Amino acid sequence: MALKLKLHTQPDVPLEVDCISPDRLQSLSNSEISKQTIFHGNRQVNLGDFFDCIGDFDNEIIIEGDCSNIKHIGTAMSFGQITIEGDVGTHTGAVMSGGEINIEGSGADWLGAEMLGGRITVKGDAGHMVGSAYRGSAQGMQGGEIIVHGNVRNEMGHAMRRGLIAVGGNADDFAGVNMLAGTIIVLGDMGIRTGAGMKRGSIICQNIIDILPTFSRSCDYQPSFLRQYYKYLKSMGLTINDSFLDGPFERWCGDSVELNRGEILLYAGK
Amino acid sequence: MSENIKIVKNATCTFCGCVCDDMELHVDLDENRIVKTKKACVLGKAWFLEHTIEKDAHAAMIDGKKVSMEEAIEEAAQTLVKAKFPITYGLSDSTSEAQRQAVAISDIVKGNVDTTSSVCHGPTGMAFQGVGESTSTLGEVKNRADLVIYWGANPAESHPRHFGRYSVTAKGMFTPNGKKDRTVVIVDVRKTKSSPVADINIRPKIGKDFEILWALRALVKGKKVADDIEEQTGISLETLEDLVERMKNCRFGVFFFGMGLTMPRGRHFNTGALLALATDLNEFTHFVAKPLRGHGNVTGADNVVSWQTGYPFSVNFNRGYPRFNPGEFSTVDLLSKGEADAAMIIASDPASNFPKKAIEHLKSIPVISLDTKSTLTSKDAHVAFRVSTYGINTTGTVYRMDDVPITLNPAFDSPFPGDEEVLKGIKKRVQELMLARHNANGARGEAKVAAARIQE
Ligand code: SF4
């Protein structure tokens, strides 16, 4: 049976719970888990003050309750699985290097920021800065996958270095800004200034977008690798229109103010 | 008018970021009023002449009732110490000495400190961190700049003496003929009162600053830009190419940018693009970029918060060490998400200019306000202090928009205390309360040392 953490008291100011991660809880008894230190605003309290701890850890942690005011769940985890049954707060899965986080509700800002590996799946929406770099740091996400079924906000994949972000809904402005490498796939609409300052990497869009004046069109083609991606995303539960599978794509390269080795692939089959 | 007139020379106007320090003020000491100003611009004049002391105002109030200073300080300190997520906001219309106390208080109570930068030039601060800053003082601009580009700014109305003192008509060592030695370019989506000053006016489509800056960067690097650039941005390729030539071939170029660049969609990327363009241009000539800061000492707020915490604004101490994360720890976000549970607002009026959701939350939590006048924020405040006005009644240090510190020369005394004095009182009390809490919790080892250090 998995370890279940059930929120019994709603915090009145944000809770920071970086101890909720398989790495930190794996070898602890339930009473020790309840005594783990967390931050309630500026006070140090025990995990047990807010969560009931039921069952035993067998590689999986299930979190119940509305966690939208709870930050840093699964930060820096390296293995195992966390399932969050509702919404969750900021920094979920930041800097994680392995394992899996499943969010049944919606995620928030800095979801999977600077993550190194593993997978995050969100059934609802996510916030700003998904898989991005923290302010002042040179690299965002460096590996792993983030799959969001709903919409995401600005600056998704800011300075991302490797890995995959797939979005079933819409993305707002500056998706893949300053991207160093990696892949972003958006099935819905995009905001403005997609891929500004990108050095390398691929951004794949299904709908017409505004392209910055520093990108240039290189060709139309049918990239075979995309088939594999789409098949994989389909298996992950995203709805993929079959016509994308071998549809023609316009390839735009940029950003010419940087290396000009990045690409934006625009579906041209409509 | 009485006979009892004092003349104050070299007084400083703190109304805008120019911080002109050559004012001459005539003060009527019987009426405690400034009756005449020399050298001040319209805004400065209004700032000085309209300054009066409301004699019947109370220096300290709790829930609208007059109390003694000690009681108010005690209540303020208790409120801050009791809170789990206290925030401090404002600071830009205050002296650097007072700002320093406010940061110390936030540190001691493990709260959050943010300045009005986060709603004006905060994006600039983020862009500095991301891109870097090529900078100079306004003195250098006056003496050397031969190409001055204003982007999204209207100094004729916001900083009236900027043109005359530093950047357009000012005569300097290598610009002996003032305006004749300079080319002035204004990039703005509208025609403004500043437009006639410019040799070249560039009027892009609304919200296309980033695209234009990006295209300029590409052209500076000798890359091609899309053919439909005029269609996209409203500016023809020839105009852009001409501007690029001028920028590359000037001796000393400067960008001054305002909120027309920082506030539209794109925010820190807009400023980041401009700073990156300035950096790119340094391959060809000397080019700097400076924000046109608004409030008197908002630059000081950035400086003080930076040297005390390492970050310019939106700094959180909840975990005992500073963390910087605009978007998470910026006041508007903290209030809109309902995360803060007490607020200390210094010389600012968020209750009148924040988004509705943030104001609603602000009204639901205890607020401590320090202001020189009655504002929407101070009216609803749990503890309200009436303080004297910096620059007119109290001395201190103010940073000009180019990070040059200037000492204030006050004109006359006020019956109200300065911000610094009040904040020092709160700080002392907060220290005692936190120490008592540490001891009650049986602070041991490091915690005890830290607690003792707090008391020093
Ligand atoms: S330019 Fe600014 S600082 Fe100078 S006098 Fe006018 S308002 Fe005051």
Residue pairs spanning A and B at CB distance below 8 A = 98
| Helix locations, B109-220, DSSP H | 122-131, 138-144, 155-158, 162, 209-220
pLDDT of res. B122: 82
B223: closest chain A residue by CA: A256
Dist. CA B29–CA B11, nearest whole Å: 16
pLDDT of res. A81: 96
Of A42, A136, A216, the CB nearest to B85: A42
| CA neighbor of A212 nearest in space, from B228, B236, B244 | B228
Confidence at A69, pLDDT banded by 50, 70, 90: very high
Contacts of A135 in chain B (CB under 8 A): 126, 129-130, 324-326
Burial B256-272 (b: 16+ CB within 10 A, else e): bbbbbbbebbbbbbbbb
Contacts of B211 in chain A (CB under 8 A): 193, 212-213
Tokens of B294: 């608004």
pLDDT of res. A197: 93
* Ligand 1, atom 7, residue with closest C-alpha: B44
Q: With H, G, I as helix, E, B as strand and everything else as coil, classify residue A32.
A: helix
Beta strands in B105-213 (DSSP E): 112-115, 147-151, 183-187, 200-202
B202 lines ligand 1 (CB under 6 A): no
Dist. CA B313–CA B304, nearest whole Å: 10
- Check residue B267 and report its DSSP letter: T
Answer yes or no: do B84 and A43 touch at CB < 8 A: yes
Dist. CA B391–CA A160, nearest whole Å: 47
B16 lines ligand 1 (CB under 6 A): yes
User: What ligand 1 atom has the least distance to the C-alpha of B296?
Assistant: 3
Contacts of A139 in chain B (CB under 8 A): none
Cα separations in angstroms, A97 against A94, A142, B252: 9, 9, 48
pLDDT of res. A114: 96
User: What ligand 1 atom has the least distance to the C-alpha of B18?
Assistant: 3
Query: pLDDT (tens digit, 9 = 90+) per residue, A120-178?
Result: 999 999 999 999 999 989 999 999 999 999 999 999 999 999 999 999 999 999 999 99
Answer yes or no: do B214 and A213 touch at CB < 8 A: yes
B339: closest chain A residue by CA: A13
Cα separations in angstroms, B303 against A143, B103, B330, B346: 37, 12, 17, 17
* Ligand 1, atom 1, residue with closest C-alpha: B161
Give the closest-approach CA distance of A41 to chain B in angstroms: 5
Which residue among B12, B18, B256 has the greatest number of ligand 1 atoms within 8 angstroms of its CB, and so is best to mutate?
B18
- Within 13 Å, how many C-alpha atoms sit on residue A114's CB side? 13
* A-interface mutation test, from B109, B212, B214, B437, most A Cβ less than 10 A away: B214
Dist. CA A11–CA A48, nearest whole Å: 12
Dist. CA B42–CA B40, nearest whole Å: 7
Contacts of A173 in chain B (CB under 8 A): 265-266
| CA neighbor of B385 nearest in space, from B70, B96, B52 | B70
Contacts of A213 in chain B (CB under 8 A): 211, 214-215, 218, 225-226, 228-229, 232-233
Per-residue pLDDT of chain B (456 residues; tens, 9 = 90+): 567 889 999 999 999 999 999 999 999 988 888 999 999 999 999 999 998 888 888 999 999 999 999 999 999 999 999 999 999 999 989 999 999 999 999 999 999 999 998 888 888 888 888 888 889 999 999 999 999 999 999 999 999 999 999 999 999 999 999 999 999 999 999 999 999 999 999 999 999 999 999 999 999 999 999 999 999 999 999 999 999 999 999 999 999 999 899 888 888 999 999 999 999 999 999 999 999 988 889 999 999 999 999 999 999 999 999 999 999 999 999 999 999 999 999 999 999 989 999 999 999 999 999 999 999 999 999 999 999 999 999 999 999 999 999 999 999 999 999 999 999 999 999 999 998 888 887 655 555 655 555 555
User: What ligand 1 atom has the least distance to the C-alpha of B39?
Assistant: 5
B296 lines ligand 1 (CB under 6 A): no
B113 lines ligand 1 (CB under 6 A): no
Which residue among B12, B13, B47 has the greatest number of ligand 1 atoms within 8 angstroms of its CB, and so is best to mutate?
B13
Answer yes or no: do B226 and A213 touch at CB < 8 A: yes
B396 lines ligand 1 (CB under 6 A): no
Answer yes or no: do B211 and A12 touch at CB < 8 A: no
pLDDT of res. B404: 93
Of A109, A136, A255, the CB nearest to B328: A109
Beta bridge partners, A101, equal: A82, A120
Annotated domain spans of chain A:
109-267
* Ligand 1, atom 8, residue with closest C-alpha: B44
pLDDT of res. A244: 81
- Check residue A134 and report its DSSP letter: P
Interhelix angle B419-440/B96-108, rounded to 10 degrees, is 20
pLDDT at residue A256 above 60? yes
pLDDT of res. A254: 85
ipTM: 0.92
Residue B81 is inside which H or E element, if any?
helix B69-82
* Ligand 1, atom 3, residue with closest C-alpha: B19
Average pLDDT over every residue of A257-262: 92
**pTM to 2 decimal places:** 0.92
Average pLDDT over every residue of A65-93: 95
B44 lines ligand 1 (CB under 6 A): yes
Of B228, B265, B326, the CB nearest to A173: B265
Give the closest-approach CA distance of A6 to chain B in angstroms: 22
Which residue among B20, B50, B295 has the greatest number of ligand 1 atoms within 8 angstroms of its CB, and so is best to mutate?
B20
- Which residues of A lie closer than 8 Å to B, measured between beta carbons? 12-14, 16, 39-43, 69, 90, 109-110, 128-129, 134-136, 173-174, 177, 192-193, 196, 210-216, 255-257, 260
Answer yes or no: do A257 and B217 touch at CB < 8 A: yes
User: What ligand 1 atom has the least distance to the C-alpha of B23?
Assistant: 5
Q: Which residue has the higher pLDDT, A245 or B105?
A: B105
Domains of chain B (ranges; CATH) run 5-49 (no CATH), 60-118+296-440 (3.40.50.740), 122-291 (3.40.228.10)
Give the closest-approach CA distance of A39 to chain B in angstroms: 7
